[in-house]
Each structure stands twice: as C-alpha cells, then as structure tokens.
Chain A
Amino acid sequence: MTATLADLRPVYVAGIGFHRYQFLSDTPYVDLGLTAVRAALADAGLAWLAVESAYFAKALLPMAPGRAMLRHLGASGLPIVHVENASASGSAAFRHACIEVAAGIADISLVVGVDKPMPVGRAESLARIGSLADDAIAPFTHFALLADAYAHRTGATVEDIALVAVKNHLNGSKNPLAQHQKVRSLDEILGGKKIAGAFTSLQCTPVGEGAAAVIVASEEGLRRHGIGLDRAVRVASSAGRSQRVYDDATRYDAMLTQETAAIALAEARVSPGELDVVELHDAFTVEEVEYVEAMGLCPDGQAVPRLKDGEFAIGGRCAVSPSGGLIAMGHPIGPTGVGQIAEVTRQLRGEAGDRQQPNARTGLAHMVGVGAVCYVHVLQAP
C-alpha cells in the first residue's frame, strides 16, 4: 500500500524569497542564490541553523554548486541534494522536500533554485538514435507547431493566441521581480521580431538568470521555533509524471499535463473550478491555452473565448500566471518551479499587492520539462 502526500503529516510553505529574474549579468550565482535564501529565511522568521536539509535545483550550472553557495550561511553540515529535471528542476526539488518533511525525516527543509544561462547539451542526443531534423526544431519551433495545430483544431487565430502575452505582460508589469515589467499592446506583441510560425519574441519566454527559495516545514518544526501557522500555506498534494506513448503524439505536453493535474487535484480533493490562482509553464503563448484546457479550467477549445472574457485575468474566475508567468516573469530554469510555488504562496497569503487575486484560497503550480516530465502541486490558504 502506497501513500500520497495527503496521507502523511501536513506540510507547509513557511517562507519565500527571490533574487529578481533578469538578463545575464556579471552577478555570481552565489549572490543570486544567497539573496533568495536569506529572504526566504527572513520571511519565515527562521535562522539558518533551523534548516535540516536543502534541495538545490539547477539545470545549467555545473556539477554540485550547492555547498559552494550555502556554506556562506554557515556550514552547518546539513544534507544537500542537487536536483536537475530540465525546466521542472525546481518543481521536482520542491516535491522531494515536501516528501521528506511529510515523512517526518526533517521538520524544516530549504528548496532553492539558481541558474545562469550557459551552453548545455541534451542527453537525448547521446542515445545515437537519429532524427530527420531535430537540429532545426528549437523549443520555440516545437511550440510553434503546436500553435498551428491548436489554431487548426479550434479555429483560434494568431491574434487570439497572442492575447495570452498581452495578459501576462500586464501581470509582469505589476511584479518587481519579473524580468519583463512593461505593459505591451497586442499590436506591439504581433509586430515584434518574428521567431517561428505565429510567434514573435514577446510571445516567448526570455532567457535569463535569477533565484527563488522556499522553506518547507512541518507544524511541529514551526512551533518548535515559536512560529504559528497564520502565514503558512498548506501543500495539499504533489504529483509527478513522465511522458507515455499517447494516441496524439504531437500533444504530449498537454496529455502529460492532463494526467498529472488530474492526479494532483484528486489527491487534494479539489475540482478545477475551485482553483483561484494557477501558475503554469507558459514558456510560449500557446501553452497557456493548451494547459488550461488540459487541467479542466475550461472545456476543450474554450480557452480563447474564456481568455477574452477575462476569466484568467487577475480578478477573473481564476488568475492564470499572475506573476507574469514564464513569458514576463521569466524562466531562468532551475528557479522557475520554486518561484511558482512562492508566487502561489504569496497569493494565498493575500500579500500580492497590485497583482492580488481577490479571495484566493486554492492555487496550483504546474511545470513541464523536456524529457518530458511534469509536476503539479496544489496549495491551500492558511
């Protein structure tokens, strides 16, 4: 008999911290990461020595960057695990910190994601299985193909899909931690540099650097350090899956999202209609319309009309990517999944300021990564 997170002792997000996501700079990764960790500790009201284990998410930095950074907080000897899971590295690290705390092995665990852009290869290319043209299909082209198929399937236009970028750049303009903080009109977005298919540059996530950290804790651990649960956000469920062989081979991202989100929602005993806030992997505009349908936030083919009705805007039925999402907030890879958890936590605490979704009680964070892997977490307000 196996257990889910909901069967184990409750786990909470007790602290969040960031280094702003930004374009590549001379800032050492150590500075980026320590800024986020110190902010998360301060937010939780915890000293570094209270942290019993650390999960370090990265996809681009070289081997074992964790201790070289964390030692500057005081080399406490705590166990450090490095997690690499492509775009979902931070989400995977969060899941395993939650499992450790839920199982009672630790009371307080740190999850930190840090990355800087640098050249990296893909293991798939080492399998010595040939491809007709994979060298011609960058991620933006993969998703441009999905956009073409989505438009054909649903009747959506190029302009319709670009409305995702209008919304998420507006959200990013209200987020001082976002890489892009500028309101963009539909004309500006459509008139930008052409990338592939329907995509222009402002419909694609920027490449950048940054850091995000969260403190995962048990109730016992928090009380031992004199901290109550009034700002602690409950992790209601955690689901992780990898790609299977699907009937519709081109839509594996959406199929994988559908089954992973269904598991996470079922474990949390939450229906899609009960979600108030969602952070999802919108590296490219078409992903948002695909994934809100896959998660059940609306029926298949209805994402664009619902988007136009404002359902996914801040103040709408369910705010999708209130941080600005990957399109505006940015996607430094290792930190991204951790940053999503931090944004959902901020929203569920009611501390999101200008971009606060009113009365947010239940939130979901979703990431996919090449491979392909998918992680979904459901969080609930204190």
Chain B
Amino acid sequence: MATPPLLKPDLYRAEGAAGVANHPALLGGVCAACGYVFFPLQRYGCERCGGLDLAPRDLSGAGALLAAARVHLHAGKTRQAPFTVGAVALDDGPVVRALIEDGGDVPHPGERMTTALAPCVDAEGAPRLDLRFVREA
C-alpha cells in the first residue's frame, strides 16, 4: 500500500533535518540580518527586525514541552475531541503549538518531545499524514 501524501507539505517533510534524520523536519526560516529563527517559513519580512533576506532553515523537530492541555470541547468539524495540544520549545529556537499523540496520557512540562507522522484524512476524506509531537523514545 502506498504511503499517503503529507497533509501540510509547506510546513514539514517526512525526512529529518541533518543530525536528527529519523524524525520529520519542520520547515522554518532564518533572518540573515538578525539571525532570528522562526517557523514556519514566510517571505513577508522578519518579525524581529523587519529584514527581507529570509532563508529556509530546517528545524529538527526535537524540543522540550512547555505546556499541554487535553481538549474536551471543540467546535470545528474537522477534528473530534478529546485530543491533546502542546507547546514545544524546539532546540532550534522557535516555540510551536501542535497536536500531541499521547493516547490520553498527557505529558508534563519539561518532557522531551519529537516529531512523528500520524495518519489522518483531509477535508475531502482522503488519507494523509499529519505532523504530531510524541514523547522522545
């Protein structure tokens, strides 16, 4: 059976960043003027200094959990509660918020996390792979 395509290929890729090859990389950016590392990549201008020389920067997807919350009520039709979301401080600098795959065992601040791909469906019901954070093995 073929591997489903990624749900958001502009934000991550299946292959890892250099040095952390076994976890999906996040597609971030870096400002040539001030060195600010950000996620996701955008070309409008640097949020810190306004610089326009923004280059892609692969982020490893490894980091420490800052906070997590089990969501019991959700109005959106694309997602069924309960699920867990978390804020992760990436080792590369940015803080990202994402879904956490935890089987209902919500992780605690400080725990090491990393990226993984999980099956999902897109708005039309087609199978896709989406990015999650999981406890680092």
Chain A residues near B (Cβ < 8 Å): 127, 129-138, 140-141, 144-149, 152, 193-198, 245, 249-250
Is B97's beta carbon under 8 Å from chain A? yes
- Known contacts A135-B79, A145-B85; 9 additional CB pairs below 8 A are A127-B44, A132-B11, A132-B97, A135-B78, A141-B71, A145-B67, A197-B71, A249-B95, A250-B87
Is B99's beta carbon under 8 Å from chain A? yes
Is B68's beta carbon under 8 Å from chain A? yes
- Residue in contact with B110 in the complex, picked from A133, A144, A152, A198, CB distance below 8 Å: A152
Q: Considering only CB atoms, which chain B residue lies closest to A251 in the complex?
A: B66
Known A130-B40, A136-B76; contact A149-B66, beta-carbon cutoff 8 A: yes
Is B42's beta carbon under 8 Å from chain A? yes
Is B13's beta carbon under 8 Å from chain A? no
The count of residues in chain B whose C-beta lies closer than 8 Å to any C-beta of chain A is 37
- Residue in contact with B97 in the complex, picked from A133, A198, A245, CB distance below 8 Å: A133
Q: In the complex the two chains form, is A196's CB within 8 Å of B99's CB?
A: no
For residue B108, which residues in chain A have a CB less than 8 angstroms away from its CB? 152
Give chain B's interface secondary structure class. Answer: loop
Contact with A along B67-95 (1 / 0, CB 8 A): 11111111110110001011100000011
For residue B40, which residues in chain A have a CB less than 8 angstroms away from its CB? 129-131
Known A145-B68, A149-B109; contact A133-B85, beta-carbon cutoff 8 A: yes
- Residue in contact with A137 in the complex, picked from B47, B97, B110, CB distance below 8 Å: B97
- Residue in contact with B69 in the complex, picked from A129, A132, A141, CB distance below 8 Å: A141
Q: In the complex the two chains form, is B72's CB within 8 Å of A195's CB?
A: yes
Contact with A along B32-44 (1 / 0, CB 8 A): 0000100010101
For residue B78, which residues in chain A have a CB less than 8 angstroms away from its CB? 135
For residue A135, which residues in chain B have a CB less than 8 angstroms away from its CB? 76, 78-79
Q: In the complex the two chains form, is B109's CB within 8 Å of A152's CB?
A: yes
Min CB distance, B27 to chain A, in Å? 9
Q: In the complex the two chains form, is B69's CB within 8 Å of A250's CB?
A: no
Q: In the complex the two chains form, is A136's CB within 8 Å of B71's CB?
A: yes
